Amino acid sequence: MNTNEAALLEGLNPQQRAAVIYRGPALLIVAGAGSGKTRVLTHRIAHLLGNREAWPSQILAITFTNKAANEMRERIKHLVGDPEGMWIRTFHSSCLQILRREADKLGHNSNFTVYDTGDTRALLKRLIKAGGYDIDKLKPQMVAAVISKAKNELQTAEDFAGNADSKNPKAQAYAELFLAYESEKRRNNAFDFDDLIAETVYLFKSHPEVADQYRRKFRHILVDEYQDTNHAQYALIRELTRNVTTPDPKTGEMLTPASLTVVGDSDQSIYAFRGADIRNISEFAKDFNGAHTILLEQNYRSTQNILSAANAVISKNFDRPEKNLWTEAGSGEKIVQFTAVDERHEAGFIVDEIVSHHKDGVAYSQMAILYRTNALTPSIEAELKSQQVPYAVIGGLKFYERKEIKDALAYLTAISNSRNDEAVRRILNEPGRGIGEKTELKIAELARRNNISFREALALNQELGLGPKLTEAITKFAQLLDSVEQVSQTEKISVVLTEILVRSGYKYNLEMSRDPQDEARVENLDALVGQVVEYELRNPDNTLADYLAEITLAAAADEIDDGSGQVSLMTLHTAKGLEYPVVFIAGLEQGTLPHMRSFDEPGGLAEERRLFYVGITRAMRSLYLTLALQRTLFGQMNSTMPSNFLLDIPVDLMDQRGVEKQKPLVSYKPRSLSDAPREKKEWKNSITTVRNNEGLVLAVGDKISHDDFGPGTVIDVTGEGARQTAEIRFENVGTKRLMVRVAPIQRL
């Protein structure tokens, strides 16, 4: 790969060029929004390859979405040709590949299944019911969230159970279900989504020779969106960049640790609710010896007015690296801030502007409506339909979540992994075979008694004395799975899928139905077959298990089709990493953005401000910020107040329109609970200011004063230094837990 170095560096600004050519043990590229981070990463990889400093197989580039991985792969291919052998993957896909190769060391077969969210919840629902727990009080999604959080912190079920409060019945129930879930999952030869990273870390820690194998393989590791990493992902990177403990088997050489490059922006850290730890990027220099930092501030996406608004908003957060986005693109249009009477008025304005932009030549696919919560979409969708504007709700009911698609994939899963009881039980009576829930439970009990899988128990169903008709139905179903499994040994995935849809009668039943929805379901199944064919063309050597795993790892942002000709509707979290010429951010009201929950969570308000910053920086040319003075949510009309974040934006950047365009924008700030009108009691928690309290250390019993909440007494303190939090009982608003470093407080 003799690539001209000058050509690779041409067109890069000085900071980008420095990031491409830097060589050292660890590099942090602080990349502001729209600053060309993907270009820097791909050119850095191309520079390594072009100078023959690394072979493609020695490079591991980690992204957060398949879409980002594909874009990076295509850019590198354009620069230096096909990087065959290079790992350009998501965290989960990378770990999946490792676990496929090393599964036996963890007691699994290599054809293991990866549970998606639906599979996990279905199994937990069954375990909750079987354990006699109150399913109305103990929801599968609640248990799943607790288990996911534990795994992202690298807690095993045994660790979790050992730490559970023995006097708390709910904590004990979670612990018991976690243990039962792990046992059942292992019996099914399955991992869940969170296992992929946690089990890989465990593999490296428990098998140093395996860890060394991958440390020798990957000599250059590059991680995108590093601010979004959680503890498990951080631990994985640490394991891959540790000292190699054994000599190279070919050369006998003891290799130095791999070179690590991470790209990220603490100002865009918005996934704390998923376990993302902003300290991973803010403390990078402490964690990795010899780390060097390069700052990218020149923006290539937005106009200066948009960037100035973003800079003004994010500057209110403390404990962040100083940076100011700038551009050579000019000032551009002013930001439109529209105040509506209610949500219908707001929706009407948004859609009218979309129609106007479309008439001016802007494609629908170049416009997006962003919001903090999905509860805001009904009025907007109604108006879009009314004006016949095509749209897609990103992150809504996805293609792979539709019943017929889940059924088809369950058939493939049952064929790929005979130990996956959840998949077999899902399709046991799909299409209808007269096999009811009682019979299913009897088969499950037969499997348990004989310590075999549910599918293996099907072949022994004669022992249950179910009668000739039911016995025949179960036997034929078992034979169907066996015969199509034989087909899967030699045929392509698309052939296997077609066989199972036809021979099971699943597709025929839908085709014979007179229900218009069933006609759409047939079309969806045909589309699935088409997508499988495309997958085979892209991945000719991949197995059925590989295909099923890739489907599980798909992210919401991967759904977006830029050529769809539809306006995109999505949450601000989903919009991360995307860009549109025209962006609307709706619902800029106190309690919505920032969200109500953020007022009670340490660091919550700062994260909400980062979320708003992310939304602003999605816009390239036109940005609209809208709010409604009245909004009906969950069937109740409420008066609202403008978001305090709007006050952060200089007035000269705004074109204020709507019912209050003649009045200065003022946000509601009660001095105490008694000052807040009853109908606006949700605003009583509003924190409007933060302070840099470096050096302030509180102790139990200290008397303090808070700018918004008034006087209070410290009743509990946890953490130290910058991470100290205090539980404070306020005279006016009750008990709050605050981060001492940034809370607007002073000791009396």
Of the candidates 15, 17, 37, 608, the residue annotated as catalytic is 37
Say whether 618 is catalytic: yes
Take residue 291 and report the two structure tokens written for it: 């780390």
Take residue 184 and report the two structure tokens written for it: 């059942």
Residue 307 burial (CB < 10 Å; 0-12/13-18/19+)? buried
Of the candidates 433, 618, 621, 631, the residue annotated as catalytic is 618
Take residue 154 and report the two structure tokens written for it: 């690298």
Of the candidates 38, 117, 475, 713, the residue annotated as catalytic is 38
Say whether 268 is catalytic: yes
Residue type, 567: V
Find residue 260's DSSP bridge partners: 26, 221
Q: Would you tell me how many other CB atoms lie within 10 Å of the CB of residue 465?
A: 9
Say whether 251 is catalytic: no
Q: Cα(234)–Cα(658) distance, rounded to whole angstroms?
A: 47
Q: Among 200, 242, 251, 187, which Cα is nearest to 93's? A: 200
Say whether 248 is catalytic: no
Find residue 190's DSSP bridge partners: 113
Find residue 393's DSSP bridge partners: 569
- Going from the C-alpha of 292 to that of each of 22, 28, 38, the distances in angstroms are 9, 6, 19
Of the candidates 63, 241, 268, 617, the residue annotated as catalytic is 268
Q: Cα(81)–Cα(87) distance, rounded to whole angstroms?
A: 15
Q: Cα(527)–Cα(402) distance, rounded to whole angstroms?
A: 12
Of the candidates 192, 212, 225, 608, the residue annotated as catalytic is 225
Q: Cα(24)–Cα(130) distance, rounded to whole angstroms?
A: 56
Of the candidates 182, 212, 224, 559, the residue annotated as catalytic is 224
Question: Strand locations in 596-709, DSSP E?
Answer: 619-628, 630-633, 636-639, 654-658, 703-706
Place of tokens 């869940």: 192
Q: Among 35, 33, 32, which Cα is nearest to 13's? A: 35
- Contact between 443 and 457 under an 8 Å Cβ cutoff? The reply is yes
Say whether 344 is catalytic: no
- Contact between 637 and 658 under an 8 Å Cβ cutoff? The reply is no
- Contact between 47 and 5 under an 8 Å Cβ cutoff? The reply is yes
Q: Cα(667)–Cα(645) distance, rounded to whole angstroms?
A: 9
Say whether 38 is catalytic: yes
For the annotated catalytic residues, the residue numbers are 37-38, 224-225, 268, 618
